[in-house]
Amino acid sequence: MSLDEIEFEAEERMEKAVEFLKGEFRGVRTGRASPGLVEHLKIVVPSYGDAPMELRALATISVPEPTTLMIKPFDPGTLKDIERALQTSDIGINPRSDGKVIRLPVPPLSGERRQQIVGQLKKISEQQKIAVRNVRREAVQKIDAGKKAGDLPEDDAKKGHTRMDDLTKKYEKDIDTMLAAKTKEVEQV
């Protein structure tokens, strides 16, 4: 495996860790209504088969007010299934239905709850930093193996080590930036 292939594969995997983190952050409640809070919620609609579907495939999700989510099913027959799924989910918000749309009032967060959420955000971020470092470690091992086998000259191996360190720093900085932005959003009253 060439140095460029190792670097490309490592960068691709590090990018996936950052994308995963973005997805995780979208689902974190901040006291403000956001479609990301419920759009990936899995819902089983018996009349559509037993395969769970994401909420965004079954309804439009809008934010009519800063603290309210409105869910309007494409098929009115799925309203009860969506409502049931929202009640049993772990988002902790009771849905209100008028027979046509479901409203989710997002309550404001207490100071203590905000700190708990910030702690969770830090934990999720650290897990992704570890994933990035693991990718770096595996890439360095491949570079060392190539050097040992004689496929990579020593200069290229050193260059590869430096590139992996630079990539790791870049993606860790991206994760820190995302964490700082989300923390600021959560702490904002």
Give the whole-angstrom CA distance, residue 186 versus residue 104: 19
Q: What is residue 104's predicted lDDT score, i.e. its pLDDT? A: 87
Same domain for 98 and 115, yes or no, is: no
Same domain for 138 and 99, yes or no, is: no
Judge whether residue 108 has pLDDT over 80: no
Of 105, 138, 165, the last residue of a domain is 105
Backbone angles phi, psi at 102, to 5 degrees: -115, 130
- Domain of 91, CATH number, reads 3.30.1360.40
Task: Name the residue with tokens 């964490």.
Answer: 179
Same domain for 81 and 13, yes or no, is: no
Give the whole-angstrom CA distance, residue 177 versus residue 173: 6
Same domain for 98 and 39, yes or no, is: yes
The tens digit of pLDDT for each residue in 25-40 reads: 877 766 677 777 787 7
Q: What is residue 10's predicted lDDT score, i.e. its pLDDT? A: 93
Same domain for 87 and 21, yes or no, is: no
Same domain for 85 and 62, yes or no, is: yes
Same domain for 20 and 72, yes or no, is: no
Judge whether residue 113 has pLDDT over 70: yes
Judge whether residue 90 has pLDDT over 80: no
Give the list of residues 6+ apart from residue 91 with CB closer than 8 angstroms, or none. Answer: 29, 37, 38, 41
Of 67, 84, 105, the last residue of a domain is 105
For residue 167, the enclosing domain spans 3-26+110-187
The tens digit of pLDDT for each residue in 43-69 reads: 888 878 778 888 888 899 888 888 888
Q: What is residue 15's predicted lDDT score, i.e. its pLDDT? A: 94
Give the list of residues 6+ apart from residue 147 with CB closer than 8 angstroms, or none. Answer: 153, 154, 156, 157
Give the whole-angstrom CA distance, residue 174 versus residue 48: 40
DSSP string, 50-63: SS-EEHHHHEEEEE
Give the whole-angstrom CA distance, residue 103 versus residue 62: 10
Q: What is residue 139's predicted lDDT score, i.e. its pLDDT? A: 93
Count of domains forming the chain: 2
Same domain for 47 and 65, yes or no, is: yes
The tens digit of pLDDT for each residue in 118-177 reads: 888 899 999 999 999 999 999 999 999 988 988 888 898 899 999 999 999 999 999 999
Give the whole-angstrom CA distance, residue 136 versus residue 14: 9
End-to-end Cα spacing for the chain: 52
- Domain of 131, CATH number, reads 1.10.132.20
Give the whole-angstrom CA distance, residue 186 versus residue 28: 9
Q: What is residue 29's predicted lDDT score, i.e. its pLDDT? A: 65
Same domain for 55 and 148, yes or no, is: no
